């Protein structure tokens, strides 16, 4: 191909000369049956909240669930679960994930920092290395489904996850505005180039339901989730309202006690 530098590790094109990059083997004491990435085009749309809700729903459905927080520079998973413990290590230089109130295993850079307000000032290769170590050096044990909270966008770290972890599919989280701004299409196209199926599209903060009269208001504009899902043949869609009790549950570290019918349904379908 034009412009080929023969380094398939930094290229997403599926050309005929592609040399397959070996997927990493999971930690030797672990078995992970399904890996689902949660992706967004940009930050702040609720990707981490959706990851946390999907994991909590899958756990309520009786599955053994883990979250690998790959949003290394903006990790918010531990906070949503109120997890503050420092992960323990063993003599083989492996570390154990922290277990939440309902039994979800999590690993995140925030659990490894001295203060959770410390910034992570790492460059691309180091970030990629951290993801690899989360996969190979964390003793996950026996897991039915692992949700990977991906960094926003289509950069380096997302590429590492797609190439090196056995991702079964992704869920894209978006706001109504981003659906019309082609940001979502970039995420869809990246997954296509990496041969990773897009399993679902979540339009978060889609509407606000007035608690007094029940009327629906599309604060961020009309929904376009149907059109975009149809255009890219995404099999599942889900619209979630703006709900201050969700933000509150995440702030208090109690996301596991927040329940949404939509998320329960999506989690059940994704983990079938
Ligand atoms: P991202 O991971 O995409 O950066 P977060 O999940 O951290 O986004 O969410 C950003 C903020 O928006 C958080 O304070 C979260 O509690 C809040 N939030 C997410 N989804 C909703 C929602 N549906 N209703 C109200 N607040 C929400």
Ligand 1 and 174: CB distance under 6 A: no
Residue 208 near residue 219, CB atoms below 8 Å? yes
- Residue to substitute in 240, 247, 249, 253 for testing ligand 1 pocket (most ligand atoms within 8 angstroms of CB): 247
Nearest atom of ligand 1 to the alpha carbon of 44: 4
CA–CA dist 188, 196 (Å, integer)? 9
CA–CA dist 79, 39 (Å, integer)? 19
Ligand 1 and 48: CB distance under 6 A: yes
Model confidence over 120-132: pLDDT tens digits?
767 777 778 889 9
- 32: tokens are 């992970």
Q: Give me the pLDDT at residue 20, please.
A: 64
**For ligand 1, atom 8: residue with the closest CA:** 46
CA–CA dist 26, 272 (Å, integer)? 22
Q: Give me the pLDDT at residue 19, please.
A: 65
Measure 44 CA to ligand 1 centroid, in angstroms.
6
Q: Which helix (H) or strand (E) element contains residue 235?
A: none
Q: Give me the pLDDT at residue 73, please.
A: 81
Q: Which one-letter DSSP state was computed for residue 89?
A: B
Which residues of the chain carry a pLDDT beneath 70?
1-3, 5-14, 18-20, 121, 180
Nearest atom of ligand 1 to the alpha carbon of 249: 16
Q: Give me the pLDDT at residue 7, please.
A: 60
CA–CA dist 44, 81 (Å, integer)? 18
CA–CA dist 149, 153 (Å, integer)? 12
Measure 139 CA to ligand 1 centroid, in angstroms.
29
Q: At what angle do helices 261-270 and 47-60 cross, to 10 degrees?
A: 70
Q: What is the pTM of this model?
A: 0.92
Q: Give me the pLDDT at residue 11, please.
A: 62
Model confidence over 191-229: pLDDT tens digits?
999 999 999 999 999 999 998 999 999 988 888 889 889
Report, in angstroms and rounded to the nearest whole number, the Rg of the chain calculated over CA atoms.
Answer: 18
CATH top-level class of 25-270: alpha beta
């Amino acid at each position: 191909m034009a412009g080929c530098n023969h380094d398939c590790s930094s290229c997403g094109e599926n050309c005929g000369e592609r040399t397959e990059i070996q997927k990493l083997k999971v930690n030797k004491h672990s078995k992970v049956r399904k890996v689902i990435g949660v992706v967004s085009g940009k930050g702040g749309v609720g990707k981490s909240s959706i990851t946390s809700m999907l994991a909590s729903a899958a756990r309520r459905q009786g599955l053994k669930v883990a979250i690998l927080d790959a949003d290394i520079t903006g990790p918010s998973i531990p906070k949503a679960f109120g997890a503050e413990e420092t992960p323990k290590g063993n003599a083989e230089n492996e570390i154990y994930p922290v277990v939440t109130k309902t039994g979800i295993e999590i690993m995140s850079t925030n659990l490894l920092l001295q203060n959770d307000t410390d910034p992570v000032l790492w460059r691309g290769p180091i970030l990629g290395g951290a993801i690899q170590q989360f996969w190979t050096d964390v003793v996950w044990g026996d897991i039915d489904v692992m949700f990977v909270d991906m960094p926003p966008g289509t950069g380096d770290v997302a590429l590492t996850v797609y190439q090196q972890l056995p991702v079964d599919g992704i869920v894209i989280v978006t706001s109504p505005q981003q659906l019309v701004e082609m940001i979502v299409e970039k995420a869809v196209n990246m997954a296509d180039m990496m041969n990773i199926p897009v399993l679902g599209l979540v339009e978060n903060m889609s509407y606000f339901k007035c608690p007094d009269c029940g009327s629906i208001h599309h604060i961020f504009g009309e929904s376009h989730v149907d059109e975009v899902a149809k255009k890219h043949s995404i099999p599942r869609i889900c619209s979630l309202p703006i709900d201050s009790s969700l933000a509150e549950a995440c702030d208090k570290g109690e996301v596991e006690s927040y329940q949404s019918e939509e998320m329960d349904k999506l989690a059940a379908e994704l983990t079938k």
